[in-house]
Amino acid sequence: MCDESRPGPVDFHCHLDLYQNMEAEYTRCEAARCLTLAVTTTPKAFARNAEMARTRRFVHAALGMHPQLVAQRASELSQFEELAPSTRYIGEVGLDAGRRFYPSFERQKLVFERVMALCARLGEKVISIHSVRTAKQVLDVIEKTGAHRTCVPVLHWFNASGAEIRRALELGCYFSVNEQMLLTPRGRNLLETIPIERLLTETDAPFQSDKAPGDVHGAIRLIAKEHNLDDSAVEARIRRTATELLAE
């Protein structure tokens, strides 16, 4: 488990390898003791991230197959399957039915089902999951494959109805949230519905252009306000949850 003598923030979904100086971002998160899940978008990107994370205590690299890249990178699925036994951390994976990526949606479903079935068989995976306009379909795959029984699904930026949020809770999912999503009506509804022990903070940096990896202070404030708690109490609760999930 990580040393909590000087706890830092939690960024449970960011893309350190998409920064021009990837190594500097890994070093900065480590120096800040930021518990970080550095997701990747393709299996080919994983090796360099894994090497960066290998010598760091607080930053963990995840093996990904991003749904937005399935049309171009589905051929890397076999590489994903070869690498999956070597890591506890999976992400970013999932489904995207946005207009731009809908043409590949059927292929995305095939890939995501294989990924989640593999994770279910291997067990003990922490999985960061993308679900643009696909909350129901993502939950269907989690339930169909049984991944929720042997792994920890973490729904990243989960924009869903109240019924879908409650279903995800029943399946044992966790939720990584950021300031931008929490300022929307659905984000506020999510905060009203989810118990604080199922929440994690994220930035999705660099896709939130105003947020650096680890800059989760705005999300913390919004969570604290909803739960009528001090910021420090929310930070400590989320740090404890992340430490438990990321522990080898």
pLDDT per position as a tens digit, 47-85: 999 999 999 999 999 999 999 999 999 999 999 999 999
Sign, CA dihedral 95-105-163-187, equals: positive
Reduced to 3 states (helix: H, G, I; strand: E, B; else coil), residue 169 is helix
Give the pLDDT score at 5: 54
In contact, 92 and 62? CB cutoff 8 Å = yes
132 pLDDT above the threshold of 60:
yes
Closest CA to 219 of 241, 195, 199, 198: 199
Give the pLDDT score at 24: 98
CA distance 91 to 62: 5
